[in-house]
Every structure is written in structure tokens, then in C-alpha cells.
Chain A
Amino acid sequence: MNRLSWFNVTSLTLGFAFLYLPMVILIIYSFNESKLVTVWAGFSTRWYGELIQNEAFLDAAWVTIKVAVTSSTLATVLGTMAAYVLVRGGRFLGRTLFSGMIYAPLVMPEVITGLSLLLLFIGIGLDRGVLTIVLAHTTFSMCYVSVVVSSRLMTFDRSLEEAALDLGCSGFDAFRLVTLPIIAPAVISGWLLAFTLSLDDLVIASFTAGPSATTLPIKIFSAVRLGVSPEINALSTIMIGIVTVGVISASLVSKQNSLRQQRDEQAAARTA
């Protein structure tokens, strides 16, 4: 291995500092005893204790999780179906239009998506609440799922599906028993993507949330407007912790899988 030169060390330090310094400061101040955010008054876990007592935050967190799970599941089902039709459907009337339109929400400004959904819900007289947030999140995260799944389907060996048909499967069975299990990793990462998008969406949620339901990002944003409280720091630290654990365990699992795959293949080559 080459030793790191001073130049590399410097750029590495600067890069990481740029990325993580704000978060590190946030985490440090979440353990601040003082109520004033900018004054350090000793270590304490007091704000974590108060956070657990705070009904409004807990409600918002619960709503956020409910919305994220439901909308990402719906988006995964719809997005996978759309991807399958786009990749496998062959040529049908309006295919180009459809495939262009499914990606449109990716580039559409969120404000416009949010506004149009708001107008729709008002137009059809739907009371704003959990249901409207779920619908809105499903709408915009579905296209992300279909992008992820369709890129997997494009490299999918079609002869696997043909083999399933050849062995007596109906079209749906071939999808259920062969295609879906094989593309499952892509479907799962599509779900995770949709889940994350829903979890941290502020703009669209503010348009579609009503007085009966508020998500965590909206709650944090409105709380911060009244002044940053150490409680918010504690809440953010918990969220950073959850995300970090999730990312690290996901990469560990995938690394282990690829190692096992490699070992198996080597073993197969030896016994051949």
C-alpha cells in the first residue's frame, strides 16, 4: 500500500470535516446541560429524558413511521408493476409517453407536486390527514422505485422467465416464483429508498398534512422557527443514530453475501 501523502491527508480531512462537522456539533450539543444552544454547560442526557415526555413529538414520530411504511409499500407495489410493464410489455400504444411520464416526478419541483396534490385533495373534498400524506408520498416515491426496479429488470436474463413458462408456469406464476425472488434485492432497495424519501420529506408533507396529522420533519421545522431547542438536537441525534446503524448493517450484510458467493464459486470450481 502506498503511504498517504500530506496532500491526500489534508484533502481527506477537509472533505470529512465539511461533511460531518455540522453533525458532530449537533450531537455534542444534544448532550448539553444548558438550555441555551450556544453555551456549553456540562454533559447531560436531560434533553433525551424530556424528549420522551414530549407527546407532540412522539405523535409526530408515530405518524411519520406509519406514513413511511404504508406509502413505501404501496409505492413498491405500484412502481414494480410499472417497471415490469415498461421493460417487458414490448411495444404498446403510448409506451414512450408512459415511460417519460413515470420519470417526470423525479425532476418536477416538489413545491409544484405538493401544490397540485393539495388542489386535487381540496377538489375531491378529501380531508387532509394521514391518508392524504400517504397518497402524496406514494405518488412521488413510486417513480423512484420504478427506476430502481426497471434498471434491474433490464439486465434480467429473460430466458429464466421463458424457462418457467416452458416448465408449465402461467405468466403470473413465472413472475411470482422466478422473477420476483431474483429481483427481490432491487425491490427491497426500492422500498428502502421510498421509505427514506417519505421519512425526510418536508415540502410535500406540509402541503398535504392537516391539523389532525403532522409528520416529524414538519414538527421539527416549525419548532426550529421558534428557536432551536436542545430537545431538537437530541431528536436529530437519535435519527442520525438509527440511519447510521441501518446503513452499516446493510453494507455488512451485502459484503458477507458477496464473500459467501465468492467462496461457493471457488469451491464449485475445485470440485469440478
Chain B
Amino acid sequence: MTQTVFAPWDDPSKKPLIRFDCVTKRFGDFVAIDDLSLDIFEQEFFALLGPSGCGKTTMMRMLAGFEAPTEGKIELAGQDIAPVPPNKRAVNMMFQSYALFPHLSVYENIAFGLRRGDMPKNDIDDRVGEMLKLTRLEKFARRKPHQISGGQRQRVALARSLAKAPKLLLLDEPLGALDAKLRQATQFELMDIQEKTGTTFVIVTHDQEEAMTVASRVAVMDEGRVIQVATPERIYEAPNSVYVADFIGDVNIIKGTAKPSGSDRYEILHTDGQPPFSAVSETSFSEGQTCHLAIRPEKVSISADRTADADNAVQGKVLDIAYLGNLSTYYVELPGGQVIKAQTANTRRVSRRGFTWEDSVWLSWTATAGVLLAE
């Protein structure tokens, strides 16, 4: 049985729900968004990921209607939304601070948006009840926001923004104020609610783990530009630049020059007097071109003796060990002075660990383990 994969971005016949068309936003001289084009499809859980100040919040505020693009246009379901004020958009937002109305009860907070239309009172009551049930807040309906905990407040904010059944829900760092455990539970809850309601979610976050967990696609942003848009797997396994590789997770970057050695094989000359590394790359490099080999630490294996049939094997000295409980990261210094991180799962107790500081070890990885990047 084949399962249909949710991938409307690969289907040219699908029309995007949101289309950023060459959008630029300036605040005075500062360019917050720089000629950005992006499509987001219906029912997607789309994450805008980047360091603070990269323009992700500005994009969200433009979707909500609190900022207007300086140039270019934003379409929602085929319509230019620039002239539509925020209170007339079928877009709702969950604010980073939650922005719950402190003088209203949980129930009234959720009903607030519904009361603005001409919805009959009974229907409002039903809808609020439904939302309370969805977010498991029935017991707290009569409480005021300051009478509930942070996690409950977060759920009230979500219920309130979902109550009007928007076409698009914007979430601005929704889990920023929660502690790690609650955060994880809430991530799954968010995904569950997104699936149940079928609403398109756009989430803004600087937490790459959060983006990877919840999103169907992630856009990695930097300085007002989108660097890469892809599924979490592609972003992690096939980053298109050193910036993305470095931003998402941990990575070893080895700088060198490329030398073609087969149809899609390359030798990377990295340090004088050391044997080159070999790597497979889909993108082509010319002889002598500067390149960066990006390898995730968990794809580098560490052993006491040289692995016989490894594509790449190099000897080094353990410089440092970072013990993370479930994992250990070994910092191994190569003869050329370069430090490579290798990560292994601690399937055995620490006392039985094979290597310690100053040990001489072999690192090895396959030709397909790393990604070859131009910049």
C-alpha cells in the first residue's frame, strides 16, 4: 500500500495559499525583508526559522496586516492583501506574549473574536465550548488569565486565535515562554490540533529543534532573505549552504579545494601534506574551486583501529569529550590542527567507554556522509 505523501510544493498544479512576490520591507534605511519570494500551501505547517533580527517576525506582521510591504505584493488565496486591514483578514495570530485580555475570563477571551461578527449567541457558546474542549480548558473557562498557569495561558491564546476558524494561523514564537518538558508536549499538541483543524499554520521560531519537530517545511532566513526552503529532512541532510548547515544542528565544516575524480566524485584537498578526503556531490565543482565539506558529527565514526574499507579515514588525538548523557561528542584534533567532532550514542555505561583524553583514535566516514558546498 502506498501512502500519499503531503507535498503540495512539488505539485505544479497546486495554487499556493500565500504568495510573497518580490517583497521588500524597509524601516527607514534598514532593510528588514530583501526582495523575498515564497509560496506557502494550504494545510501546511510552515516554519520561519532564523536568528533574531532576520526578518521573520516582520514577515508574520505583514501577513497579519500590522505592517505593509514597501515593494512587491503578498497574496492570500490569489488576492493582494495590502489594502485589507488586519480586522478584515481571514488571518489570526497567536502572539509571543499571548496578549490575553487580562480583564476578561478565559471564556470571554476565546469568544472575543466571535462577538465581533454577527454570530448568534448560541453559536458563539457552542464554538467556544468546542475550542475549550480542543485545548482541554473546560475547567478553567471562568478564570481570569492571571489565575491560570503559563501552559494554560498558551492554550487559551491558541484557542482564541483558532476560534474564528481562520484560513491562516500565525504563531509568533508560541512556545518561547514554556519550559523544556512542557514545550515538547505542546509541540505535539500543536501538530495534533493543526491536523484536526486542517488550518494552515505559519510559525516563527529561532529554535531549530522546534521548527524541525513541527513543520512540514522550514524556511531558513538570514538578514531579510530566505536561504533555503525545504522539508526538515532536506534542510538537515542536504543544506544548500554553509550558513544553513551551520545553523541547523551541529556540523563539521572542512574547507578545501575540489578536484573531480569521477562523474560525481571529488577529492577535497584540505591541508598540505595530508591525504585528500573523497566525497560525492550532486552539484558540480570545477578543478581548484574552493569548497566546504559539511559532515554531521553523528556520521563520523570513531574507533581505535583503522576501519578497513572506509572512504575516508584519518587519525587524530582526542582533545575533549562532551558528555551529554545519551550522547558523547568527541573533539578530535587532526595532524593539520583541524578539530573534527564525532558523536556516538552512549549505548553502554560511561565506565565502559573506550576512549579518553589524549587517546589516539581513527575517524572514518563514507563518501556520501557529507555534503559538498560552495559557500
A interface with B by C-beta (< 8 Å): 157, 159-160, 162-170, 173, 177-178, 181-182, 261, 264-265, 267-269, 271-272
Contact = CB atoms under 8 A, between A and B. Distances in A.
Nearest to A173: B116
8 contacts: A159-B99, A160-B99, A162-B99, A164-B112, A178-B101, A265-B147, A268-B149, A272-B152
A5 B167 CA distance: 70
B87 A271 contact: no
Contacts of A170: 87
Looking at A157, A160, A166, the one whose CB has the most chain B CB atoms below 10 A away is A166
B150 A162 contact: no
A163 B95 contact: yes
Contact of B117 (A168, A182, A264, A271): A168
A182 B116 CA distance: 19
A97 to B, nearest CB: 22
A162 to B, nearest CB: 6
Contact of A169 (B65, B97, B116, B160): B116
B147 A272 contact: no
Contacts of B86: 162, 165-166
Interface in B125-143: 143
B92 A166 contact: yes
Contacts, number: 78
Given A159-B95, A163-B95, A182-B103, A168 B87 contact: yes
A172 to B, nearest CB: 11
Contacts of A181: 103
Interface string B75-102: 0000000000111100111011101011
Contacts of A166: 64-65, 86-87, 91-93, 161
Given A162-B86, A167-B160, A168-B87, A264 B101 contact: no
Which interface residue of A157, A164, A167, A170 has the most chain B CB atoms within 10 A? A167
Nearest to A178: B101
Given A163-B93, A265-B146, A271-B149, A169 B99 contact: no
A168 B164 contact: yes
Contacts of A163: 93, 95, 99, 101, 160
Given A167-B87, A167-B92, 12 more contacts: A159-B95, A162-B64, A163-B101, A164-B112, A165-B87, A166-B87, A167-B164, A177-B112, A265-B146, A268-B146, A268-B148, A272-B148
A241 to B, nearest CB: 34
B113 interface: yes
Nearest to B153: A268
Among A173, A182, A271, find the residue whose CB has the most chain B CB atoms closer than 10 A.
A271
A51 B107 CA distance: 55
Contact of B116 (A159, A168, A264): A168
A162 B87 CA distance: 9
Contacts of B30: none
Contact of B147 (A159, A173, A264): A264
Nearest to A265: B146
Contacts of A269: 149
A164 B95 CA distance: 11
Interface in B46-98: 64-66, 85-88, 91-93, 95-97
B144 interface: yes
Contact of B102 (A164, A165, A182, A268): A182
A182 to B, nearest CB: 6
A17 B101 CA distance: 47
Given A167-B112, A167-B160, A181-B103, A159 B149 contact: no
User: Counting chain A CB atoms within 10 Å of each CB, which of B99, B103, B113, B149 scores highest?
Assistant: B99
B95 A162 contact: yes
Contacts of A271: 148-149
B345 to A, nearest CB: 34
B147 A268 contact: yes
Contacts of B113: 167-168
A267 B113 CA distance: 28
B151 interface: yes
A169 B87 contact: yes
A162 B93 CA distance: 9
B123 to A, nearest CB: 15
Interface string B150-166: 11100000001100100
Nearest to B151: A272
Which of B88, B144, B146, B161 lies at the interface centre, i.e. has the most chain A CB atoms within 10 A of its CB? B146
9 nearest CB pairs, A to B:
A272-B149, A167-B113, A168-B116, A163-B99, A159-B99, A264-B147, A181-B103, A165-B86, A159-B95
Contacts of B66: 162, 165
Nearest to B149: A272
